[in-house]
Structure 1
């Protein structure tokens, strides 16, 4: 859904009601990102940020992820931040770009709840410019480092996305950086800057 101005609360709720009623995601390879798999016919992207080290850092990062602070960015805003951190939750995301707004829906399709690795994967719903899935993970590595990682696969779902894919990919790169910056701020404080040790590519979808 494309808008010239941010949606009203009533519009957001109407959109969420419609998205929650959808029975399936807009792609068939459900939960493929759980094991880092990219299905044939999709582009994959990965990005990793160092958040700090130690158990206290890991606990802060997990709390930030579970409260959706990853979406506290200048570019992407979660319009229903009270959504439960659970499989089946539908998220309404407002994306700002090129002087207009996009209202898109994604559904949480799995959770990762290990002792040293916590995260979730969400998939696109009908109306999204791209079809695919993205994984958001916080991990406490054996080295002691705590990292935040994005992994995604996607392909254009609308004609406009196909035509403008080079431009869209630049926006996706900016989006990945903003997700990383949001997690770094949540864990380290507002003055911290994100660091990508891998020099990875952008996450492929909001």
Structure 2
């Protein structure tokens, strides 16, 4: 199954592509780099934001497919994604995931950790997306609000380490 957009990897390098809604957040963490890497690799931003995660993988890795679910109890909207890039260096770790058929939007989201020369650890989330379904297009302002709120919660989950 292929991702639903052509700009694969655009959250990793260069500007986010035109024609999409863009979201970015960057926060300094109090956790050390190794602790933050473990949390990110084990889906902490998603779970800390109140999302459920379905995957057979214990850790994020290139090609891993997963679904995030938002909702209450058994009433959840599940959105399928695949990790399309990963970086794992001594001072940089992260991955980008793209939407798969069945997702309510089309686009890519990335989580990236970096440690600077002063030893500060930074978490950045960035995304580009647009509605994939007619009813999401109708509710685009609400969808953008939900996306911004969830992105804030990703950052808060990582800051709480």
| Shared fold per TM-score greater than 0.5 | yes
Q: Give unmatched runs, 5+ long, in structure 2.
A: none
SS at 1:119 equivalent? strand
TM (norm. structure 1) is: 0.72
Match of 1:58 among 33, 57, 60: 33
Higher helix share: 1
Q: How does 1:1-206 map to 2 (within 5 A)?
A: 22=1, 24-52=2-30, 57-73=32-48, 75-80=50-55, 82-96=57-71, 100-185=75-160, 187=161
What is the CA-CA distance between 1:144 and the residue it aligns to? 2.3
Is the 1:68–1:81 contact (alpha carbons within 8 Å) kept by the matching residues of 2? no
What is the CA-CA distance between 1:36 and the residue it aligns to? 4.2
What is the CA-CA distance between 1:155 and the residue it aligns to? 1.0
* Structure number with larger C-alpha Rg: 1
SS at 2:30 equivalent? strand
Is the 1:110–1:122 contact (alpha carbons within 8 Å) kept by the matching residues of 2? yes
What is the CA-CA distance between 1:108 and the residue it aligns to? 0.2
Please identify runs of 4+ aligned residues in structure 1 that moved more than 6 A.
Answer: none
Distance 1:74 1:143, change over 3 A: closer
Distance 1:81 1:140, change over 3 A: farther
d(CA) in 2 for partners of 1:49, 1:120: 17
- Aligned-residue CA RMSD (Å): 1.9
**Which residue is equivalent to 1:6?**
none
Is the 2:49–2:157 contact (alpha carbons within 8 Å) kept by the matching residues of 1? no
TM (norm. structure 2) is: 0.91
Distance 1:83 1:182, change over 3 A: same
Is the 2:57–2:64 contact (alpha carbons within 8 Å) kept by the matching residues of 1? no
What is the CA-CA distance between 1:104 and the residue it aligns to? 1.1
